[in-house]
Chains A and B, each alone.
Chain A
Amino acid sequence: MNIIVCYKLVPEEQDLVVNSDRSISWDKAEWKIGSYDLNAVEAAMELVESAGGKVTVLSVGNSRLENAKLKKAILSRGPEELVTVVDDDLVDLDGHNTAKLLAAAVNKIGAYDVILCGEGSADIYAQQVGSQLGELLGITVLNAVSKITPQGDRLVVERTLEDEVEVLEIDLPAVLSVTTDINVPRIPTPKDILAGGKKPATKWGLADVGAEIAATVEYLSTLAPEQRERKHIILEGASEENISKLYEFIRQELA
């Protein structure tokens, strides 16, 4: 089974700085692989471990994708090969264009049975790239997949809806976006990380995949929400007096 896993580099949310004008700065941020994408990589590894096959990881973005540490970080999780589509213009790409570029890259890669995506990107979390990708490729596509079991040349998957779980049988090829509770991603050992640095990586440009981008959404502003005014009555120590005060505060709120 040939599996392609899509991933995205995102800024470390702990490094976010909110400026005084409520704008957001990532200037000092470390970059990392989106946490939701790690579930997709793990699901792919579990699939090839039980059914055989090969896992390729794929991403589109700017030259940050070429960072050796970040390449090692994704390959140390088991995939055999990395493919990237890199261009300096591929920043803050909207979901439709991301899916379009991924589709172009997937078509150039050629043979695949399953494409796995995370539930959403860890930064924007619009949860639509996997679903758009499947439609653009003209193949079966599902979101919210919480279990995958190979069955002959098909897959049986569970899909978690708001109030129930669907058990579905799907023909391949297919694009599946997996939930965060589908697995617990393994942590790479030092040996895995060393091996990750030696795996093949292919870099394409926009012209190589023959895709053009044209924005389908305009970002008007991105600002931290205004904070609600709070009372900030902070008592130090759980003394009898302080607990009594807190009890009174809560009682008033409950009244």
Chain B
Amino acid sequence: MSLLDKVFVVAENASVIDEVCAAGRTCGQKVEMVLIGSQEDAKRAISVGADKVYYLGEATVEKRVEDFLPTIAALSDQEKPAAIIFRTTVRGRLMAARLAAVLGTNVLTDASSLQVDGTALISKKRVYGGAALREEKAVGPVSVVCISPGIAAPLEADSSREGEIIEVAFIEPTRKVKCIETKAKVGEQVNLPAAKRVICVGRGMEAQDDLNMIYELASLLGAEVGCTRPIAEGEHWMSKERYVGVSGVMLKPELYIGVGISGQIQHMVGTDQASTIVVINNDKKAPIFQYADYGIVDDLYTAVPALMQKFKNQ
């Protein structure tokens, strides 16, 4: 595959350095990082694949991450990279969109793959609630991209790699937002995408208290518990962090068990990377059975306690 001459990868904080560098290496001859972080982070960036680091300094309460946008825009105007790659985060999305607006282009968002075509990038993203994959190509002199996690395997850190670190002066933005405080996120921190085993529940559950038997089964199996969107956003029986599917969590477990879930595409797109899918549902015609490796057609209130008993007896 041919490579673009020069790509910018933007790290708005240290946690995305490895990923954006790896993504940059798949499509650029020269990978140049625009870094908001520490000097240590700049060295790290070079060790994992950056040829050059434009070092913007660290973000503070007065100098928020987004305040660096005019600096990044001026830098890209000066250096004219063929592509600018951000990581898909809340801040990454905002900055990519704002930069694209300045550059007069669209952002290839949520890119799950990247490919070079001539002087532009082609990306794939899920559309229509995840029901389809769209392949799209940037038109114009610069491709702006937001990459999804896992798009390229990070390079092994190698401290013998060489690269240049260039300090870049901060350009004061004309508009500023004042940060009064930051608060801890309410609700629990769960990491469903990393879970190896997940039990998900849907509308088949009749009451919130009935979730207890699901939690009990989950603890027997060493599984995390997730749900469909109506359970989180309609019933508020679980936190938003636990709903699986479109605009929620995309799972990659070894084992997924769907209980009382009909199998709407909006949920199932979050499960299709599961190695094994087990289904418990009383409706034989429920679409979820089309995705099942193993299934039981019966009332979940009969099947779940019976299954649980087996695991208790083992």
Contact = CB atoms under 8 A, between A and B. Distances in A.
A167 to B, nearest CB: 5
B76 interface: no
Contact of B303 (A120, A136, A238): A238
Interface in B229-253: 233, 240, 246-247
Interface in B113-164: 122, 125, 127-129, 131-140
B138 to A, nearest CB: 6
B291 interface: yes
Q: Name A's interface SS.
A: mixed
B170 interface: no
Interface string A129-173: 011111110111111100000000000101111111111111100
Given A160-B185, A169-B178, A230-B292, 13 more contacts: A24-B132, A124-B134, A125-B129, A127-B97, A132-B101, A135-B98, A143-B90, A163-B185, A164-B182, A168-B179, A219-B135, A233-B293, A240-B306
Interface in A226-255: 227-228, 230-238, 240, 242-244, 246-247, 249-251, 253-254
Contact of A13 (B100, B128, B181): B128
A94 B134 CA distance: 13
B298 to A, nearest CB: 4
Q: By CB atoms of chain A within 10 A, which of B90, B279, B290 has the most? A: B90
Interface residues of A, number: 84
A170 B177 contact: yes
A77 interface: no
A166 B59 CA distance: 14
Given A99-B101, A141-B98, A162 B90 contact: yes
A128 interface: yes
28 contacts: A96-B101, A123-B127, A123-B128, A125-B127, A131-B98, A135-B101, A141-B94, A142-B94, A143-B94, A163-B185, A164-B185, A166-B182, A181-B233, A181-B240, A216-B105, A217-B137, A217-B139, A218-B139, A219-B136, A224-B131, A225-B132, A232-B292, A232-B293, A234-B279, A243-B307, A250-B278, A250-B294, A253-B255
B132 A238 contact: no
Given A128-B97, A131-B98, A233-B293, A217 B136 contact: yes
A225 B221 CA distance: 30
A221 interface: yes
B47 interface: no
Contacts of A127: 93, 97, 109
A240 to B, nearest CB: 8
B289 interface: yes
A78 to B, nearest CB: 21
Contacts of A170: 177-178
A133 B102 CA distance: 11
B295 interface: yes
A207 interface: no
Contacts of B136: 217-220
A253 B307 contact: no
A124 B104 CA distance: 20
Q: By CB atoms of chain B within 10 A, which of A95, A97, A216, A223 has the most? A: A216
Nearest to A127: B93
